[in-house]
Amino acid sequence: MLVMSGVAFTNKFDGKSMVIVLNDSLRILYAQDPKNWPAPWVDAGVNWEELGLLPRDSNLAKTLANPKVILGKTLFFDPRLSGSNQISCATCHEPDLSWGDGRTLSIGHDHLPGTRNTNSLLNIGLFKELFWDGRSKSLEDQAINPIATLHEMNQEPPALGYKLSKIEGYKPLFEAAYGDERINLDRIVDALATFQRTIRSRKSRFDEFIEGRYTRMTDLEIEGLHLFRTKARCINCHNGPLMSDQKYHNLGLTYYGRKYEDLGRYLVTEDPEDVGKFRTPSLRDVMRTRPWMHNGLFDEIEGILNMYIAGMPQPRPTEAQKSDPLFPKTDTLLKPLDINQHEKKALMAFLEAITTSPTRVERPILPK
Ligand code: HEC
Ligand code: HEC
């Protein structure tokens, strides 16, 4: 009997066994334009977009030479944006840690702990709403938040322009970016936003596969891609090039009434339907952004998959909680999955194929 690769399943044929090499047929199905891939298993009512290539900047060198980007990058790494002059954006969004901080929860001013896991800023320019609960609509609006927050940078934003204008070396940078030396908060957040839009994932092996280099993914990874789009149901939420529907879902991780309680999107909308919902994270480079989830409580990808396979926590209300309108409801898109050990490995292999090696980022010289 001939087994070429990967899993094989046996069919009884004429008393002898015949082996069908499942993976080779999957490669044939996927080695073509994504619009011809097998239809995904998406529930009725789910608005989805096929997985695909991230938009690329065709002239990255030119973008990075833009004076606004250079200024924004300098500000991003400058601890003088904080009240104590000790904490920069990069303290928590560290390029060597995939633009996150590798911690469960962030630690900021005076070593005060934050309440959520720091997002990676990779591909942040593609998100329409920011933060785990989507409370901010733009990068320009968002930047004030960490600057002002006590447990982050603890700097009064209105005073920041004045503070930076005391640093002579910033004047030429602002002049190059905005035509004159004036330093104010609007320009600071505009430059920070312009820089953050340049933070992108590199091309993954999955992207190369889509571009037609069909040897760039292994059989196991292709099987994982197929499962991701079908039986494992991931594509219901992790879809499009970013692998996020940019919507909010409750995975059952609210810890309602318990130590780690976080009401998520409800804190923004005050709609009881939104209790425990968080924005679907991008899965681009996911194997480099641990620990995972809004609370950073998950360190093992296998553990996360085990939870998806079990259908995620579905907390039942106690008698007293039955009339509580805020009692969280786990998303109905989550249900127990028929995924075996081998298939779980295939899903993990696929998550590796969408993870790239890190880019080495040169830190700017801070102006004096
Ligand atoms: C003390 C650590 C800390 C510092 C300093 C910090 N951040 Fe963050 N950042 C976080 C955390 C934690 C979150 C997630 C918060 C949430 O969702 O409630 C976050 C979220 C973000 C997001 C949204 C990401 C997403 O996926 O939606 C952006 C953008 C961002 N930070 C940019 C910045 C910028 C720019 C600065 C500097 C002006 C900065 N951060 C400083 C910890 C930090
Ligand atoms: C119902 C929508 C939905 C489905 C289906 C779904 N996810 Fe998620 N996923 C989310 C949301 C929302 C989060 C963040 C939840 C939180 O932090 O509370 C998340 C988080 C994750 C994370 C952690 C990422 C990070 O940066 O912290 C991984 C890994 C992940 N999902 C993989 C998968 C895989 C693999 C599948 C299929 C087996 C899947 N997801 C199915 C919505 C979904």
pLDDT at site 23: 60
Ligand 2 contacts (CB < 6 A) are 232-234, 236-238, 249, 251, 253, 278, 280-281, 283, 286, 289, 292-294, 304, 308, 331, 333-334, 347
Contacts 24+ apart (CB under 8 A), 363-366: 363/77, 363/90, 364/70, 364/73, 364/74, 364/77, 366/74, 366/77, 366/78, 366/80, 366/169
What's the rounded Cα separation, in Å, for the pair 105 and 289? Answer: 13
Best of 123, 238, 330, 332 for a ligand 2 pocket test (most atoms within 8 Å of beta carbon): 238
User: Each residue's pLDDT tens digit in the chain (368 positions)?
Assistant: 333 444 444 333 444 444 444 567 999 999 999 999 999 999 999 999 999 999 999 999 999 999 999 999 999 999 999 999 999 999 999 999 999 999 999 999 999 999 999 999 999 999 999 999 999 999 998 999 999 999 999 999 999 999 999 999 999 999 999 999 999 999 999 999 999 999 999 999 999 999 999 999 999 999 999 999 999 999 999 999 999 999 999 999 999 999 999 999 999 999 999 999 999 999 999 999 999 999 999 999 999 999 999 999 999 999 989 999 999 999 999 999 999 999 999 999 999 999 999 889 999 999 99
Q: How far is the CA of 210 from the centre of ligand 2 (A)?
A: 23
Q: What do you get for the CA distance between the two ends of the chain, in Å?
A: 73
Ligand nearest to the CA of 349: 2
The one-letter amino acid code at 276 reads G
Ligand nearest to the CA of 263: 2
What is the longest distance spanned by two Cα atoms in the chain?
Answer: 87
Q: How far is the CA of 90 from the centre of ligand 1 (A)?
A: 9
b (16+ CB within 10 A) / e for 326-341: ebbbbbeebeebebee
Best of 87, 103, 118, 187 for a ligand 1 pocket test (most atoms within 8 Å of beta carbon): 118
> Which residue has its alpha carbon closest to ligand 2 atom 12?
280
Q: Which atom of ligand 2 is nearest to the CA of 333?
A: 1
Best of 293, 294, 335 for a ligand 2 pocket test (most atoms within 8 Å of beta carbon): 293
What's the rounded Cα separation, in Å, for the pair 188 and 199? Answer: 17
pLDDT at site 359: 85
Q: How far is the CA of 314 from the centre of ligand 2 (A)?
A: 15
Q: Which atom of ligand 2 is nearest to the CA of 132?
A: 17
Best of 129, 251, 350 for a ligand 2 pocket test (most atoms within 8 Å of beta carbon): 251
Q: Which atom of ligand 2 is nearest to the CA of 278?
A: 12
Q: How far is the CA of 32 from the centre of ligand 2 (A)?
A: 27
CA-nearest of 73, 94, 103, 68 to 359 is 94
Q: How far is the CA of 232 from the centre of ligand 2 (A)?
A: 12
Ligand nearest to the CA of 267: 1
pLDDT at site 358: 87
